[in-house]
Amino acid sequence: MAKRVYEVWKGNNRFSFGGRLVFGPDARSLLLSILLIIVPATIFCVFIARKLLHKFPNYNAGYAILVVAIVDTIYVLGLLLITSARDPGIVPRAPHPPEEEFYDSSVSLEGGSGQTPRLQFPRTKDVVVHGVTVKIKYCDTCMLYRPPRCSHCSICNNCVERFDHHCPWVGQCIGKRNYRFFFLFVSSSTILCVYVFAMSALYIKLLMDGGHHTVWWALRESPASVAVMTYCFISVWFVGGLTVFHLYLISTNQTTYENFRYRAENRLNVFDRGCLSNFLEVFWTRIPPSKNDFRALVQEEPSTRPSGLPTQGDVEGEDLAGYRRTKVEADLELGCELSKFTGRRDSESEVVDETRGRSSGGPNIALEAELLRGSARSLPLSGGETYNEGHPRRSSWGRKSGSWELSPDLHPVSSPGVESGRFHGGGNTPVSK
């Protein structure tokens, strides 16, 4: 049965509802973020806003306080879920490296070097953005050249367009397709914290006016207000600080990644088109559709790799191990046979050289060398008997008192027309009987 894209996805993302929702690998932190929003909002609605329903009889303003708190909480939760469960702008991985790149020119395919050409990719490329040349980098994991402002997230293991950062509280990368919702989530959370803090302080003021003349008596009367105000005071420094920081980034058309990485380099920002245009780009431009159809059926593409390069699926598993073992064994066997043959030829050459260097008046050296050569050729190179190079050869010559004589075991193979061991002076021609 054919699988869908999200079932064979190579990134670290987690999917829900059949690939309709895509989360980061740390999606569990999303539950903590939801609790940090719901719990204080619930405490405020139950113990504070409910008691303010009848404090403002004109126009039923007390009900508006409760409704605004509930609506703002739902709005923040919705933005959180959209930011976390949305494709942030993942660039699909390439099935193979770029085909137009270079081979190692030092290795010839037609030569006898026996080497496989290696693909070599330039690590950067030059592209023109708004009339300025910028460099883009090659991603070894995704096997593609990243578009401008794209970076590879090591947590999600994906290349993300206009990568801002990976937010652990959202459990997702923040990129081109969810940055708008992330900023709205952070800014709305800031507004919610300020609103809850202000309404809690208002309730303390009403308690003081109603008979509790001091702040301490009012705080003792409503400990929920103390807890909520303390929580909102601490939280607003985080979400409020993020809101101010991202307002600065939007106004200068930067990302968090670019700001932290290139701050010290004083690099020209080619994407800055003015404060107003930068805000329009973030909030009033159409969000591009996702480049990934996670519910699509996986279709195997035909391999377009050069014919001279081995693919990963050519030899795998046991076939790869068996192939390597067979090759090594064949090389060892061939080396052993060559060493045997070389050893025999060396010994044979030594004997011939030794006999040629003897003085005249000796025995017929050419005859004995020929006999030794024939004996050496009769030995097998492989199989049968094992050749032992350490075994000394038995010489057919015996040296006695400065004269050379044939060994007895070679007499039977002597020519009948040659008198064994007797020659003319220093000549090489045998004397006939």
Q: What is the pLDDT of residues 167-224, one digit of tens each?
A: 999 999 999 999 999 999 999 999 999 999 999 999 999 988 877 678 888 888 899 9
CA dihedral of 217, 221, 227, 230, whole degrees rounded to 10:
-30
Average pLDDT over residues 284-309: 77
Q: Give the integer Cα–Cα distance in Å for 426 and 358.
A: 10
111 vs 227, which has greater pLDDT?
A: 227
Q: Is the pLDDT of residue 69 over 60?
A: yes
Q: Give the integer Cα–Cα distance in Å for 179 and 182.
A: 5
Q: Which of 167, 173, 193, 232 is catalytic?
A: 167
Q: Is the pLDDT of residue 323 over 60?
A: no
Q: Is the pLDDT of residue 432 over 70?
A: no
Q: What is the pLDDT of residues 80-124, one digit of tens each?
A: 999 999 999 999 999 888 866 554 545 444 444 555 555 566 888
CB-CB contact of 144 with 93 (8 Å): yes
150 is catalytic: no
Q: What is the pLDDT of residues 12-35, one digit of tens each?
A: 999 999 999 999 999 899 999 999
Q: Is the pLDDT of residue 416 over 70?
A: no
pLDDT at res. 414: 40
Ranked by mean pLDDT, which of 116-120, 138-142, 408-412 comes out on top? 138-142
pLDDT at res. 307: 47
Q: What pTM value is reported for the model?
A: 0.66
Q: What is the pLDDT of residues 288-298, one digit of tens each?
A: 999 999 999 98
Q: Is the pLDDT of residue 350 over 80?
A: no
pLDDT at res. 339: 52
Q: Is the pLDDT of residue 327 over 70?
A: no
The structural domains of the chain, with segments of one domain joined by +, span 5-95+147-284
Confidence grade of residue 227 (pLDDT, cut at 50, 70, 90): very high
Per the prediction, the chain carries an average pLDDT of: 76
pLDDT at res. 302: 56
SS3 track for the chain: CCCEHHHCCCCCCEEECCCCEEECCCCCHHHHHHHHHHHHHHHHHHHCHHHHCCCCCHHHHHHHHHHHHHHHHHHHHHHHHHHHCCCCCECCCCCCCCCCCEECCCCCCCCCCCCCCCEECCCEEEEEECCEEEEEEEECCCCEECCCCCEEECCCCEEECCCCEEECCCCEEECCCCHHHHHHHHHHHHHHHHHHHHHHHHHHHHHHHCCCCCHHHHHHHCHHHHHHHHHHHHHHHHHHHHHHHHHHHHHHCCCHHHHHHCCCCCCCCCCCCCHHHHHHHHHCCCCCCCCCCCCCECCCCCCCCCCCCCCCCCCCHHHHHHHHHHHHHHHHHHHHHHHHHHHHHHHHHHHHHHHHCCCCCCCCHHHHHHHHHHHHHCCCCCCCCCCCCCCCCCCCEEEECCEEEECHHHHHHCCCCCCCCCECCCCCCECCC
